[in-house]
Amino acid sequence: MKVTGYRIHEWGGPLRWESFDIPAPTAGEVLIRVEACGIGLTVLNCIRGDLANDTASLPRVPGHEIVGRIEAIGDDVAGPTIGQRVMAYFYLVCGRCPACTAGQDSLCANLAGWVGVHRDGGYAPFTILPAGNAIPLPDSIPAAQATAIPDAIATPLHVCKTRARIQQGDRVAVIAAGGGVGIHMVEMAAHFGARVAGLEASEAKFDAIRTAGGTAVLSRSFDAVDLRPAWDGEPPTVVIDLLGSRDSVTWALQVLPLGGRLVLLTTFRDVEAILSPRDMVLREVTILGSRYATKAELRESAALVASGKIHPVVSAVVGPEGIEEVHGALRNGTLVGRGAVDWNV
């Protein structure tokens, strides 16, 4: 089958709108007709080669936050079924190792890469994925809104529930709170009972942070961050860093109190911060890496959206001709939440 969509031919290179062939799904694979695909900073990171940059993987269709319907299935696929609505699981996991069989999919010992990096993604109207990467999705959620679920919402659920274990009474500071993952992190932390400060360099995103349940805090300079409006002078018990800079990590380690937790999520190369083991011990500070989410957490995230408990923030929905415009808004920091390309527009 010949389709027309976007591919990259070099890591960090431009998108090319072109026609190419998609074969029939082979054993264990499914063909997905893409309804919509999320557009966020993670896609730009993938295109740049931050996750992997093997030239043997090129050309590649980017885009991992895929929502669509099963169009065809290969042999040896027990589920999903043709016509079923699904969302894509980002990690290409084996499904057989101890972590996968224990439901800790993101810790797969045989990780084969990522959708949109090692397998074609959703910047084209069709894609083929392993059947295990197609997670059922309720029909009730509009496609563009649903694109936030498999990463921008599932990742915060994993952080709040599994890693930081946020609970009633926690004071959570989210750094880069107006972005695609950040805005949903604010709402998710509030859903788990925390009082949330959303740190953001762009005041244009403050209303969205407040709507998500947080107190907006200006963070153009970490030396000038003032958390008093959020908690009357008390420090955060948890800092969730979605900026991933030396300054943001250093600030977090300085501001956390006894027993505080720092959660790191970014994967930028060559970013380092200095910490004092003595200080970490005396304050018993916990530093946590958080690696995506489990398949069960994707399903739970979809249920939270379907029930109205979590609200996707997808502020720019475009047809395929508008993808580069949304990329520009991401690069200059003006996009609130996620964007999405709708293949039915």
Class of domain 2-150+294-342: alpha beta
The per-residue pLDDT for range 226-285, each reduced to its tens digit, is 999 999 989 999 999 999 999 999 999 999 999 999 999 998 888 999 999 999 999 999
Smallest CA-to-CA distance from 132 within 87, 82, 83, 66 is with: 87
Rg of the chain over all Cα atoms, to the nearest angstrom: 20
pLDDT at 197 over 90: yes
Give 7-22 pLDDT, tens digit per residue. Answer: 999 999 999 999 999 9
- How do the domains of the chain map onto residue ranges? 2-150+294-342, 165-289
Q: Is the pLDDT of residue 345 over 90?
A: no
Split at pLDDT 50, 70, 90, the class of 200 is very high
Give the phi and the psi of residue 127 in degrees, each rounded to 5. -150, 155
Mean pLDDT of the region 285-310: 98
User: If you ran DSSP here, which 8-state letter would residue 343 be given?
Assistant: T
Percent over 70 (pLDDT), the chain: 100
Strand duo 134-136 + 85-88: pairing: antiparallel
Residue 334's pLDDT is: 95
What is the rounded average pLDDT of the residues 300-328? 98
Global pTM value: 0.96
User: Could you say which DSSP state residue 93 is in?
Assistant: -
**How far is CA 342 from each of CA 16, 122, 125, 171, 241, rounded to the nearest angstrom?**
18, 10, 9, 37, 30
Handedness of CA 119, 88, 66, 181 (dihedral sign): negative
CA distance 161 to 154: 10
Count Cβ atoms within 10 A of the Cβ of residue 245 and give its class: 0-12 exposed, 13-18 middle, 19 or more buried: middle
Q: Please tell us whether the domain made up of 165-289 is placed in CATH 3.90.180.10.
A: yes
**The domains spanning 2-150+294-342 and 165-289 adopt the same CATH topology:** yes
Q: Please give the torsion angle defined by the CA atoms of residues 164, 288, 117 and 146, in that order, rounded to the nearest 10 degrees.
A: 10
Selection from 7, 39, 1, 34 nearest residue 331 by Cα: 39
Strand partners, 261: 238, 286
Asked, as a colleague might, if the bond just before 125 is cis with ω within 30 of 0, I would say no
Residue written as token pair 């699904």: 86
Tell me, rounded to whole angstroms, the distance of Cα 33 from its chain centroid.
21
Closest CA to 38 of 60, 62, 57, 5: 62
Count Cβ neighbours within 10 Å for each residue of 100-133 and write b for 16 or more, e otherwise.
beeebbbbbeebebbbbbbbbbbbbbbbbbbbbb
**Are 99 and 109 within 8 A, CB to CB?**
yes
pLDDT of residue 188: 98
User: What tokens does 345 get?
Assistant: 């527009």
